[in-house]
Amino acid sequence: MKAYQIVDADFVKREIGRMPIVDVRPPLRYDPAHIPSAINIRLDVAAASEDPAEELAEMFQDNGIFPEDAVVVYCQMGVHAKIACDYLASAGYSRLYLYAGNMNDWIRDPARPVEASSVAFAKAS
């Protein structure tokens, strides 16, 4: 059995503001455009530690997302979000939703909202 349930853009759009949504991309990708309300928790930082699963779980908990919480995870193309879900499952998370389309899919539909971080605007000015 998979450690996560695969969901589509409609599911994610319905959950904006209701369920935590986590973008595991680096800030260079997250800052210019991300799904509204998404929290940036970097998989690359966790993966560089001695225990990536434990490190990622700690980063999620630092952001108020605990093993019993439902959470949507996404990245740019899907690979890193799947890795993040696998790490989280091994750390006891059981209500994981993997957005299969990820950011590449999300931005294809202009009706889907996109946010940019104020950091991105500050760098641009």
38 in any annotated domain: yes
**What is the domain range of residue 19?**
5-117
**CB–CB of 53/15 below 8 Å?**
no
Is 63 within a domain? Answer: yes
Q: Note whether residue 92 is domain-resident.
A: yes
Please write the tens of the pLDDT for every residue from 62-92: 999 999 999 999 999 999 999 999 999 999 9
Give the total number of structural domains in the chain. Answer: 1
Residue 18 included in any domain: yes
Q: Which tens digits make up the pLDDT trace of 7-32? A: 999 999 999 999 999 999 999 999 99
Please indicate, yes or no, if residue 99 is contained in any of the structural domains: yes
Is residue 109 within 8 Å of 35, Cβ to Cβ? Answer: no
Domain of residue 93, CATH code:
3.40.250.10
What does the pLDDT read at residue 119?
58
Kindly state whether residue 124 falls inside one of the protein's structural domains: no
Residue 23 included in any domain: yes
For the entire predicted model, the pTM comes to 0.91
